[in-house]
Amino acid sequence: MISQCPHCHTDIKLNEAQQAKVDQALASLPAGKTLKLGCPHCKTPIELTADGRAISGEIMADLLGSARDEGLPPGGDELLEKAKASNIKPVKPPPEAPRPPDVSWLASGELSEKAVVADIPKALILMPAGALRDTVAKAFEMRNYQPVFKNSAEEAIEEMRFTDYAGVVLHSRFEGAALDESLFHAHMRGLAMGKRRYMYYVLIGPEFRTLYDLEALAMSANLVVNDHDVNHIDTILKKGVRDYEEIFGPYLKALREHGKR
């Protein structure tokens, strides 16, 4: 007996009285005829064959196989036409659950460096080498991020195609020009929201006013920091990330619960 609507794929649950009524109607069906039921969820008519199956691509395949091998059963030609006319696809089984992680390493009591690094969120830091960059990198390390440095905007953009970064830091002079001419900043502003919303984007430069949210919003960033305040970057990050999580944390959690990465 049908247990799922072939149109909306919602489970169909019948009580004993309804089941008995459907069984009786199916038992009295003439050869080649179908019983029509309305889906209680999407209201779309469902046609059942005498054995209780819905007309679908699966039944059409069975009928075509029968036609090739031994000819159609009584009334099968009519069912075949119904199946061909219907635009219903067979219900697909749900995807397999991910396999559990390999924990064979537990017996040795050792955790490889590769396994440790894989679990650490990464921060892409695009700043000229020097004391400012070292200070920023140390602040991210203290917050359990793995700093990653790139030498050019092109290299950074290519890297982002294959690596997910939880944090991204760009100095406005990294590419030697004004920020509005920055190739990497243009890339960040053009990222699809499905990827961008999970990155904490920090802009650093002499033109910014530290922790000025309106300026950060106008620059499509999460945080702006003036060069003169980089020595306090750890405290600034704590406040910036805390404020961000208070505003967007529940929203991001809801997205994850609904299967949105």
CB 225 within 8 A of CB 204: yes
Q: Is the pLDDT of residue 69 over 50?
A: no
DSSP string over 34-56 = -EEEE-TTT--EEEE-TTSPBPS
User: Which has more pLDDT, 22 or 56?
Assistant: 22
User: Which has more pLDDT, 90 or 233?
Assistant: 233
pLDDT in tens, 209-243: 999 988 998 999 999 999 999 999 999 998 887 87
Average predicted confidence (pLDDT) for the chain: 76
Task: Quote the pLDDT of residue 8.
Answer: 76
All structural domains of the chain: 16-85 (no CATH), 120-257 (3.40.50.2300)
Please state whether 121 falls in left (phi above 0), alpha (psi between -120 and 50) or beta. Answer: beta
Q: Burial-class residue 13 by CB neighbours within 10 Å (0-12, 13-18, 19+).
A: exposed
pLDDT in tens, 93-148: 566 666 676 666 566 655 555 544 556 889 999 999 999 999 999 999 998 899 99
Binned at pLDDT 50, 70 and 90, residue 251 comes out as very low
Angle in degrees, CA 146, 147, 152, rounded to 5:
145
Q: Is the pLDDT of residue 159 over 80?
A: yes
Average pLDDT on 166-178 reads 91
CB 136 within 8 A of CB 169: yes
